[in-house]
Amino acid sequence: MIDDRLRGIPLGSVDVTAPVVLDPFAGVEPRDPALADYRVIANNRQPVALRDIMIQPVRTGYIGADRVKPDPALIPPSGAEAVPEVEVEVVYLPVRDGVARCQVYRPAGADPQERLPVVLYFHGGGFTVGSSEDTDYLARRIARDAGVLVVSANYRLAPEHPFPTPLDDAMDVYRWLRGDGGAGDGGDSADGDDGAGEPRAGAARLGGDPAFVAVAGDSAGSNFAAALPVRARDEGVRMPDAVLLLGAFVDFRAERWASFQALAPRGIVYDSAFFGFIRGAYLTATDWAHPWASPIEAALDDYPPTFLTSGTHDPIVDSAREFARRLERAGRPVSAYFPEGLPHGYYFFPGIHPAEELEAFARAAETLRSAFAAPGP
């Protein structure tokens, strides 16, 4: 069902989501008088910029890093071991400046000729680390439990690529799936065919139905998923049919919430220091209240049906609760789940919190089924 032309990087294009090391002086004019100072600093300190010094330990210590785990008993099952009933393929989808590597998840029992509803998924990692491989289990669960096609998209990472570039990548893939065209359409449009009798709308070229596209993500990826309906509305693009937010990240002004004040100062994995770093790395000089960065500040009157979850020991749980309340006040369908005592990312590892995982993914699947069954615009 997947168009073979999407399985490789087109000639003359580039995978913009592949990790690269950027020249720290790339933005400095050769005749800039400050360059002499910068070269002296570079000769005495590596990396040169503080952001590069800080990101190195974050990336080398991240879960996806290639390092020895000291206790084999604490290594969780892989996604394939936990949810084997899903087929996975790699594709390269058009975004501005090139292509983004994505993984496509299809329930193994689905009719090969059926165009399934689509969920566009974004991995977490604090905007600075991670890949679609890290969230293999989550994508598999959504695909299997809801009977949908999941497109798990990579995107360019901060601090090398700050706002709005990662969100641009997310939006470009979304528009391509819908067949909306735009900066990342790769020459495709929603009308006609691609020369082989196939509709140009991207989702159909993956075995999906472009009429039914939801967005989802965990942690930082949930921020993109929450922001996409707002940006789509702002740009005159059809909004997603549903939104799934795991570890819902909807507000960059986290310090105003009691849960952050209580839990973040000495938090494990997710703490005040990490939050401050990723905010500076991603938003740089952007207003923290920009609705594409903090969707909690957006108008929500026409927001899609939403499922969101955070554990009560997640420092950002209060902002997630408030987002759910604002959706309810706006009269929008929302299912919110806040399991007691659980941390940020409680749903991430197979079998660690089986009852809560089951509840979260069941609610997510129900939100999708209800949204996809509703009449379209």
Predicted TM-score (pTM) of the model is 0.94
**pLDDT score, position 310:** 98
| Burial category of 290 from C-beta neighbours within 10 Å (exposed 0-12, middle 13-18, buried 19 and up) | middle
Q: What tens digit of pLDDT does each residue of 366-376 get?
A: 999 999 998 76
Q: What tens digit of pLDDT does each residue of 197-252 get?
A: 444 689 999 999 999 999 999 999 999 999 999 999 999 999 999 999 999 999 99
Give the residue carrying structure tokens 């798990």.
152
Report how far residue 255's alpha carbon sits from residue 272's, in angstroms, rounded to the nearest whole number.
9
Residue 192, pLDDT > 50, answer no
Tell me whether strands 98-107 and 86-95 are parallel, antiparallel or unpaired. Answer: antiparallel
In the chain, pLDDT over 90 holds for what percent of residues?
78
Q: What tens digit of pLDDT does each residue of 91-131 get?
A: 999 999 999 999 999 999 999 999 999 999 999 999 999 99
In the chain, pLDDT over 70 holds for what percent of residues?
94
**CA dist 46 to 18, 24, 25, 38, 89, Å?**
23, 11, 13, 12, 39
**pLDDT score, position 365:** 98
Contact between residue 166 and residue 29 where contact means Cβ atoms under 8 Å apart = no
**pLDDT score, position 190:** 36
Task: Name which of 35-39, 111-115, 117-121, 315-319 the model is least confident about.
Answer: 35-39
| Reduced 3-state DSSP string for the chain | CCCHHHCCCCCCCCECCCCCCCCCCCCCCCCCCCHHHHHHHHHHCCCCCHHHHHHHHHHHCCCCCCCCCCCHHHCCCCHHHHCCCEEEEEEEEEECCEEEEEEEEEECCCCCCCCEEEEEEECCCCCCCCCHHHHHHHHHHHHHHHCCEEEEECCCCCCCCCCCHHHHHHHHHHHHHHCCCCCCCCCCCCCCECCCCCECCHHHHHCEEEEEEEEEEECHHHHHHHHHHHHHHHCCCCCCCCEEEECCCCCCCHHHCHHHHHHCCCCCCCCHHHHHHHHHHHHCCCCCCCCCCCHHHCCCCCCCCEEEECCCCCCCHHHHHHHHHHHHHCCCCEEEECCCCCCCCCCCCCCCCHHHHHHHHHHHHHHHHHHHHCCCC
- Cβ atoms within 10 Å of 325's Cβ, excluding its own: 12
Residue type for 370, please?
A: S
**pLDDT score, position 377:** 65
Task: Name which of 188-192, 197-201, 279-283, 361-365 the model is least confident about.
Answer: 188-192
CA-closest candidate to residue 335, choices 358, 362, 367, 303? 367
Report how far residue 1's alpha carbon sits from residue 112's, in angstroms, rounded to the nearest whole number.
7
**pLDDT score, position 189:** 38
> In whole numbers, what is the pLDDT of the chain averaged over residues?
92
Give the residue carrying structure tokens 């702002």.
234
Report how far residue 138's alpha carbon sits from residue 1's, in angstroms, rounded to the nearest whole number.
23
